[in-house]
Structure 1
Amino acid sequence: MGQALQKVLPAVLLFGLGIHFAFTLAFLTPINPVKVSVLGAVNRYMQPFFYQRWTLFAPDVEAKTRHVFVACRGEDAAGVSREEPWVNVTSPLLDLKQRYRLTPADRLERAQVAGLSQLTASDDEITTRLLEKPEDTDAYRQAVAAAEGQRQQRKQQGRRLLGRVASAACTSLYPQLRTREVRVRMATIKAPAFSQRMNADAPGDTTWMELSWQPMEAVEAR
């Protein structure tokens, strides 16, 4: 039994990797008839945890950093209501990733990145082209309504995922607090001008986005 498993397991792993890379390739390729026909299945597989963009490369380099802050609200052991201040839960993970290239912090940060990507994702190429050419027809209005529904679904999924990230963080940060609600704040720091790249004190433009309070969710560590 053990030898048979050893023979079959590599083939199963290679098959799984092949399927994954096929979905990734379909997700990243420019719009084409084949991609349109399988886009629904591809999006369901890739989002939120495998979502990616080619903004690492020119000409539109995404030169910005995003940090997640969480706030916790609940009661202490004496039953007194408390609201804890904002805590940056991204910086410690980035520090660990810089110190140790192989670290579980990478997987933990992936949950934050996935939630942020869902919450702030741009429309796909099909939706963008659809909105560029408005038509006064029922079919067009139905297509726009469907696109808006997908957009809201992505945002809701992003809020839910970030809420779970915040719930796990509050449980870890304040074990004595009976957390009832959590809140997420996102800081987007745009890199300074290229001419200032060697200046450690050069400020980057920072924008903030806050979500409303969400109910605490029980998140199990696995």
Structure 2
Amino acid sequence: MLESDHCRPGMTSRRRRRQESRETSVARILGAAETLCAIHGSAKTNVCDIASYLSMSPANVYRFFPSKLALYDALVARVLEDTFPATRSGSDRKLSAATLREFFGGLHRGFLALMRDEEKLFELLTIADDEHWPAFEAHVKRVRSIVAELVEAGVREGEFRQQDSLRAAECLCTSTAALWEPKAIKTFHLRRSLITPEELISFSIEALRNGALPC
């Protein structure tokens, strides 16, 4: 028992180094996947390409990701985190409606920038959205949770009518989906030329106020 206690600090240090080494390897693999996908697209980039880019064997890549799908799902999570690093409810000093407008506007601008500047990576997000990959589903849940917090704050302050915040968040996210879901955002500006994103967001938020019909 005493010997075990004596060895524990060294064992902890080794575990920490192994964990750091694993995190470094995962980051390198995802970085290579992002670089190649941005150039060639996910359909034309496979595990062998990524391994070759890193001068390692495909088997070494599979040590960290059991499949190509698992690797690309992790890449989707990385792209979403890099694009929306501050996905949170925002300052409590602002009215909930104003914060909601900023929040959905930020989502829209972020996806528009990806679609414009990183077309191949945006295509990957579109696939992840369409096929309900875990990373994109987690992003959707995070967005819905933030919106629910803001709705609840608005109800508490009397800015919005009494309502179920989770149901209201679901309604609001659905009504603005064309602005921040990759599979829908591509056609928004083509098919809805009479309204702006800001007008759609404001119109949807108005349903949260007193006198609006419950969703």
Structure 1 length normalisation: TM-score?
0.38
Q: Which is helix-richer, 1 or 2? A: 2
With a CA cutoff of 8 Å and minimum separation of 6, indicate the structure with the bigger relative contact order: 1
Structure 2 length normalisation: TM-score?
0.39
